[in-house]
Structure 1
Amino acid sequence: MLGKFQQSYLRIELDAKQQDIYDSLRYSANLKKWLWPQEFDSMSERLSTGVKFNSRLGLIEIEHQVAIAGDNCLRFILSKAIDGYHEWYWGDGWVQSRLEGISVLPLNLAQTYSLLRLRQHLQSHKTKQATSTDSTTN
């Protein structure tokens, strides 16, 4: 694999419950929403240990294999454009991402962007829930 070894560890605070973060990371329909503009090949509805899928951003393709899928953690083994792994841990109000691998891509930049997109997705989801609750009580 060409490239250099890179490590990136990021943790952010979110105005979200653990279950909402779980749903955003483990259910493919939600994952596809906030990881746009990446494109995904066929994925199971819910990510579980052993599931494999590919993502693409233009000509860049990354193969993912779910190594661990828990109630508050998710680990992907990555290959093709990134040779390494990506771990996620979360709880009420926070999410942490750890990305290590060999790649020519700027992994820290991509990881930061994906965390910001996740935060935006969760804020949008919370706003929709609040609007839905308000309209049902009126």
Structure 2
Amino acid sequence: MLGTFQQSAIRIEVEAPASVIRDSLVRLSHLRRWLLPQQFASGLPEELHQGLIFNSSIGLVVIQHQVDVAEFNCLRLLLSQGIDGYHEWYWGEGWVQSRLEGISVLPLNLSQSFSLLRLREFLASQQRGEN
């Protein structure tokens, strides 16, 4: 794997209950709306579940995801191809935490920060009833 070993953990406060945060992280229709510019393969089930393997892409970089854990307050994805590592999500009432670790040519910390800001905006719009 080409690239640099990178790791990042970020926790933010959000104005959303845990159930809404969970839906935003495991329902593909929600992921597609806030996790831009990442594109997901078509034909996937509506909700991520343990054992599911799927691809996404950021530009020309393809990332394979394997759902290792999908529980009521935790999601862990094993990553390969464009990122060789893992991405963990934890959440509760009013907060979400992301931990990303892997080897990649992509700037993981920057993309993780951008994604969390997009998630916060998406959750705020959900609470306002805009989506």
TM-score relative to the length of structure 1 = 0.91
| Correspondence list, 1:24-39, <5 A | 24-39=24-39
- Please report how far the alpha carbon of residue 102 of structure 1 lies from its aligned counterpart in structure 2 after TM superposition: 0.5
Q: How many pairs align? A: 130
Unaligned residue ranges in structure 2 (runs of 5+): none
> Does the 8 A contact of 1:65 with 1:76 survive in 2?
yes
4+ residue stretches of structure 1 with deviation over 6 A?
none
Report the alpha carbon displacement of residue 38 of structure 1 after superposing the two structures with TM: 1.5
Distance 1:10 1:38 in 2: 19
Structure 1, residues 74-131: CA drift from partner, whole Å, max 9, x if none?
00000111000000000000000000001111100010011001000000111117xx
For residues 46-89 of structure 1, what are the alpha-carbon distances to aligned partners after superposition, in whole Å with 9 as ceiling and x for unaligned? Answer: 10000111111211111101000000000000011100000000
Structure 1 segment 83-102 matched on structure 2, within 5 A: 83-102=84-103
Hey, what's the Cα distance between the residues in 1 that align with 2:109 and 2:25? Answer: 19
Alpha-carbon deviation of 1:37? 2.1
Name the CA distance, whole Å, in 2 between partners of 1:60 and 1:5: 17
Counterpart of 1:128?
A: 129
Max Rg structure? 1
Q: Identify, as 1 or 2, the structure richer in helix.
A: 1
CA distance in 2, matches of 1:103, 1:34: 22
Q: SS of the counterpart of 1:128?
A: coil
CA distance in 2, matches of 1:6, 1:68: 22
